[in-house]
RNA sequence: CGGGGCGUAGCGCAGUCUGGUAGCGCAUCUGCUUUGGGAGCAGAGGGCCGGAGGUUCGAAUCCUCUCGCCCCGACCA
């Protein structure tokens, strides 16, 4: 491509609206153009990167035995009503009506459509297993789109769906995807980790997220410094046994006055005990049922884990009035002793002895409280967020550290949630009908591009990993008015193009500095600089964007050298 | 949806408090010089100051309403 005729306009300044580096650089490099909140046009050079990501994804999906389809982006409401998600999905689902006033939605995900497709075509166990995928534009009406293309409302996504005869086979399909995802992100040149994740609204039994480590990441992930354990904060566990302090002999229960001391900080400061000796009692309401949640004083409840405790239903803290009714005391003095509602304790409470709780009476706390003697716990569960350097739940030596990450991929074992609600049954060898076991597997294509920039940039701009680079090489003639220079530039451009190497010829009548700045900003991996100095010896300068290494290469050997560098990288 | 902020030339911004000729930088166009890290000089074009209503002799500026965009929070494959 000739730079002089390309629809590519780089900028020195961008709006202060862009506050993550990938967004800023994409704007500066002329890759995207915003049309509305969370809705972007991909410009030629941005699209080239997207196409590279898509190509890698397709190759690995195909290699893993999946087959590509393309489903509609507009979906009739009936399908979503059938699965029950029309009412459950909420405002994120963009609902539209056609001219006959019929309901449709713009697909945010395609479980319904794929399940419908498969149930219409697959009857027998002989047709399974099956894995179908598509790369398509989706829409989710996010409350707050941000970070440019990283968290847009309209976005490109690869979604795959597997169908199997039984759990064992489904887990094999899952494992194949798990491995394919590793290959995909590795080929994209990304530093990532697969972490255990919550299944969220999609539902299902287990899942992994593929996270790229980045400061600007929206998710917190915990990983062990000794073993392979890694999990999203929503899922991360710790080892309650190693966390617990040594049990002490039970002391006698005592009531103490704590005038106006409500928060954990106030109470522990007043009683001069560490927060880890206090158990806080939170009254939650879900579906009009109340439950008391006990958590060690120095720990925070995790909303997602809580939701799981309440069988997936929304749980909210009880209001002041409800707390009074249940505990007979104002909030801040709730405790487990004497409560008539279910008491569920976080694992962090396990093994605690002689601790402090609220007295269910104004200005009163109880000390030297013990489980079993003073009250009973209905159930222990994992409720609290883990903290940095908590013990690892898998190995007995490691500790967890918390990083931020960007979720690029998510794989789920769905089970029969959709196949049962939508009647996707097959007939097995014995002639009985059974629901197919499903899995679903997503990759954010645009987000992968953004994450690659987050991980690969410097003060001068983007540093593309070679497989994603829109152009692998750029030919920079320093003086377009110099015949000899332009002759060599054209020759190299032609040779490289004929070798199948995407090359940008910067044939603009600009000064050298401007061209260098642009080549750096765009992140093109290999710069071929043609100037009078080198040409006197019949050489061009080859410079690598990533490390900055320079070498002088004879003109005739340049194309082959470039090819070699690319082959090695891909 | 709660709190905060911003809409002025293609882009980035000042001007608004205190009403009186609409400005700066980048980009664009012309000419000359320059040519290995975003060139210099001289000149030029480009604005319904987000939209509607109001106050005023006069509104980018004050008032009311509205639309859009951004940030924090809540929310979220």
Q: In the prediction, which pLDDT does A309 show? A: 77
**Element spanning A401, H or E:** strand A400-415
The strand pair at A425-427 and A316-317 is best described as unpaired
* List of A residues 87-126 with CB within 7 A of strand B: 92, 108-110
Phi, psi angles (nearest 5°) of residue A11? -130, 150
C-beta of residue A131 within 8 angstroms of C-beta of residue A66: yes
Nucleotide nearest to A144 in CA–C1' terms: B75
Q: In the prediction, which pLDDT does A213 show? A: 86
Distance of C1' in B13 from CA in A15, Å: 10
Please give the distance of CA A194 from its chain centroid, rounded to a whole number: 10
- Does A143 contact strand B, using a CB cutoff of 7 Å? yes
Q: In the prediction, which pLDDT does A331 show? A: 82
Identify the segments of chain A with pLDDT beneath 70: 199-205, 311-314
Both tokens of A104, joined, read 């449709």
- Using a 10 angstrom Cβ sphere, with 0-12 exposed, 13-18 middle and 19 or more buried, the burial of residue A89 is middle
Give all strands of the β-sheet with A539-544 in edge-to-edge order: A503-505, A473-477, A526-530, A539-544, A550-554
**Element spanning A120, H or E:** helix A111-121
Q: A418-442: per-residue pLDDT in tens?
A: 999 999 999 999 999 999 999 999 9
- Does A518 contact strand B, using a CB cutoff of 7 Å? yes
Nucleotide nearest to A200 in CA–C1' terms: B77
Q: In the prediction, which pLDDT does A420 show? A: 94
- Does A460 contact strand B, using a CB cutoff of 7 Å? yes
Q: What is the CB neighbour count within 10 angstroms for residue A340? A: 8
Q: In the prediction, which pLDDT does A237 show? A: 87
Alpha-carbon gap, residue A108 to A135, rounded angstroms:
13
- Does A11 contact strand B, using a CB cutoff of 7 Å? yes
- Does A10 contact strand B, using a CB cutoff of 7 Å? yes
Q: Flag whether the ipTM exceeds 0.95.
A: no
* List of A residues 378-417 with CB within 7 A of strand B: 407, 410
Alpha-carbon gap, residue A419 to A425, rounded angstroms:
7
User: In the beta sheet, which residues pair with residue A216?
Assistant: none
* List of A residues 324-353 with CB within 7 A of strand B: none
- Does A159 contact strand B, using a CB cutoff of 7 Å? yes
Protein-covered nucleotides on strand B (Cβ within 7 A): 1, 11-13, 25-26, 34-39, 68-77
- Does A514 contact strand B, using a CB cutoff of 7 Å? yes
Q: In the prediction, which pLDDT does A16 show? A: 78
Alpha-carbon gap, residue A392 to A398, rounded angstroms:
5
Contacts of A51 (CB under 8 A, 6+ apart): none
| Coil, helix or strand at residue A14 | coil
Q: In the prediction, which pLDDT does A323 show? A: 86
* List of A residues 32-51 with CB within 7 A of strand B: 34, 36-38
- Does A479 contact strand B, using a CB cutoff of 7 Å? yes
- Does A481 contact strand B, using a CB cutoff of 7 Å? yes
Alpha-carbon gap, residue A79 to A159, rounded angstroms:
18
* List of A residues 176-235 with CB within 7 A of strand B: 200-202, 218
Report cis status (omega within 30 of 0) of the bond before A129.
yes
Look up the protein residue whose alpha carbon has the minimum distance to the C1' of B73: A144
**Element spanning A24, H or E:** helix A21-28
Alpha-carbon gap, residue A74 to A93, rounded angstroms:
11
Residues in chain A: 570
Nucleotide nearest to A219 in CA–C1' terms: B76
- Does A157 contact strand B, using a CB cutoff of 7 Å? yes
Q: Is the dihedral of CA A134, A137, A139, A143 positive or negative?
A: positive
């Amino acid at each position: 491509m000739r730079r002089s005729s390309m629809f590519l306009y780089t900028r020195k300044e961008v709006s202060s609206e862009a506050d993550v580096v990938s967004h800023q650089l994409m704007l500066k490099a002329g890759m995207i153009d915003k049309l509305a909140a969370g809705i972007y046009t991909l410009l030629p050079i941005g699209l080239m990167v997207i196409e590279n990501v898509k190509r890698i994804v397709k190759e690995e999906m195909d290699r893993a035995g999946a087959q590509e389809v393309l489903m509609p982006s507009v979906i009739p409401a009936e399908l979503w009503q059938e699965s029950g998600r029309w009412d459950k999905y909420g405002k994120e689902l963009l609902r539209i009506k056609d001219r006959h006033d019929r309901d449709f939605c713009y697909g945010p995900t395609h479980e319904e459509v794929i399940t419908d497709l498969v149930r219409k075509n697959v009857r027998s166990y002989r047709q399974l297993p099956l894995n179908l995928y598509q790369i398509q534009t989706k829409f989710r009406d996010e409350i707050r789109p941000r970070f440019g293309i990283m968290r847009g409302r309209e976005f490109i996504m690869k979604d795959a769906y597997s169908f199997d005869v039984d759990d064992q086979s489904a887990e094999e399909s899952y494992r194949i995807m798990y491995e394919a995802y590793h290959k995909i992100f590795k080929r994209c040149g990304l530093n990532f980790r697969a972490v255990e994740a919550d299944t969220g609204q999609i539902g299902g039994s287990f899942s992994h997220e593929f996270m790229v480590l980045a400061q600007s990441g929206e998710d917190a992930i915990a990983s062990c410094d000794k073993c392979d354990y890694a999990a999203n904060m929503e899922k991360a566990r710790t080892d309650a046994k190693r966390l617990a302090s040594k049990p002490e002999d039970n002391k006698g229960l005592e009531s103490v006055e704590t005038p106006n001391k409500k928060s954990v900080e106030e109470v522990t400061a007043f009683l001069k005990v560490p927060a880890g000796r206090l158990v806080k009692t939170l009254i939650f309401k879900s579906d009009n049922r109340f439950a008391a949640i006990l958590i060690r004083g120095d720990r925070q409840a995790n909303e997602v884990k809580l939701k799981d405790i309440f069988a997936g239903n929304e749980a909210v803290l009880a209001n002041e009035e409800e707390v009074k009714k249940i505990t007979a005391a104002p909030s801040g003095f709730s405790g487990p002793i004497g409560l008539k509602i279910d008491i569920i304790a976080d694992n962090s409470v396990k093994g605690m002895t002689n601790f402090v709780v609220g007295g269910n009476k104004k200005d009163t706390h109880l000390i030297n409280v013990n489980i079993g003697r003073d009250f009973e716990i209905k159930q222990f569960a994992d409720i609290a967020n883990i903290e940095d350097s908590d013990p690892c739940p898998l190995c007995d030596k490691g500790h967890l550290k918390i990083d931020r990450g960007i979720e690029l991929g998510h794989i789920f074992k769905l089970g029969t949630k959709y196949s049962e609600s939508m009647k996707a049954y097959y007939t097995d060898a014995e002639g009985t009908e059974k629901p197919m076991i499903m899995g679903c597997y997503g990759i954010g294509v645009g987000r992968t591009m953004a994450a690659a920039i987050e991980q690969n940039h410097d003060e001068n701009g983007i540093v593309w990993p070679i497989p994603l680079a829109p152009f692998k090489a750029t030919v920079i003639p320093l003086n377009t008015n110099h015949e000899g220079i332009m002759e060599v530039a054209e020759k190299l451009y032609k040779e490289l193009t004929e070798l199948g190497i995407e090359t940008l010829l910067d044939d603009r009548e600009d000064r050298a500095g401007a061209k260098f700045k642009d080549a750096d900003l765009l992140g093109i991996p290999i710069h071929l600089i043609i100037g009078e100095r080198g040409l006197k010896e019949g050489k061009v300068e080859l410079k690598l964007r990533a490390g900055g290494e320079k070498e002088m290469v004879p003109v005739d050997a340049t194309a082959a050298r470039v090819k070699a560098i690319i082959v090695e990288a891909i």
